[in-house]
Amino acid sequence: AQSVSQHNHHVILSEAASLELGCNYSYGGTVNLFWYVQYPGQHLQLLLKYFSGDPLVKGIKGFEAEFIKSKFSFNLRKPSVQWSDTAEYFCAVNSLMDTGRRALTFGSGTRLQVQP
Amino acid sequence: DTGVSQDPRHKITKRGQNVTFRCDPISEHNRLYWYRQTLGQGPEFLTYFQNEAQLEKSRLLSDRFSAERPKGSFSTLEIQRTEQGDSAMYLCASSTTSGRDPDTQYFGPGTRLTVL
């Protein structure tokens, strides 16, 4: 069974600091990869996704992520965070090899707190 | 452009009672998913539908849980004889298999269930 690990459970940064959130998954086949964000009091929103092609993907609000197949990783980055980036971030994987399996497997999330 | 909607947003019930939640997906989406999220965790998959067919169920979905999508549009999730361990946020998501954004799940605001 596939699993997703987010090693940073709680990250505190000052505004303008750079951000990198780790995500590793355990499946060896072809995968679709996602980052979702949940702002306080709001529902899960898609930040970015990787299906194929350029392993460096850009999402909304200046976020990007890099898929490194050899490391089974899909880390999220942002060069300069803002107070409004305070939220919980979830990495998710959809394995394409499990016949009929379309559900996402999520990591446990990283709570980002940006201090002004 | 309406997103995924869920009703009710909050439900408080007593142990042993039955509850039913409703999800309305994005109109052109043929796939609909149910997830459960507890505090400090990422969403966990419960079940999913393609049109009206329920194609996959997680082992988390005990016999007390049942989901339907009778006409391939909205879906309901019923929990019978609720237990305190059922307290969680129940999330619905939808996706399409075609068009410009296939296999990308969009989430609703969730129904927060509290079992007393």
B57 or A78, which is more confident? A78
Contacts of A21 in chain B (CB under 8 A): none
* Chain segment A26-35, per-residue pLDDT in tens: 976 778 999 9
Nearest-Cα residue of chain A relative to residue B50: A102
pLDDT score at B2 = 78
Residue A79 in 3-state DSSP? coil
With an 8 Å Cβ cutoff, are B104 and A105 in contact? no
Give the closest of B42, B56, B110 to A43, CB-based: B110
With an 8 Å Cβ cutoff, are B104 and A109 in contact? no
Q: Note whether B25 contacts A: Cβ–Cβ < 8 A.
A: no
* Chain segment B7-55, per-residue pLDDT in tens: 999 999 999 999 999 999 999 899 999 999 998 899 999 999 999 999 8
Neighbouring residues of B27: CB distance < 8 A, sequence distance ≥ 6: B2
Instruction: Judge residue B104's burial from the number of C-beta atoms within 10 Å of its C-beta, 0-12 exposed, 13-18 middle, 19 or more buried.
Output: middle
Q: Note whether B74 contacts A: Cβ–Cβ < 8 A.
A: no
Indicate if the alpha-carbon torsion angle B72, A48, B46, B14 is positive or negative: negative
- How far does A109 lie from chain B, in Å, by closest CA? 6
Give the closest of B43, B108, B109 to A106, CB-based: B43
* Chain segment B52-106, per-residue pLDDT in tens: 999 888 888 889 999 999 988 999 999 999 999 999 999 999 999 887 788 899 9
- Chain A interface mutation, best of B46, B49, B103, highest count of A Cβ atoms under 10 Å: B103
Residue window 54-83, chain A: list those with CB within 8 Å of chain B. none
CA max distance for chain A: 47
**Alpha helix segments (H runs only) across chain B:** none
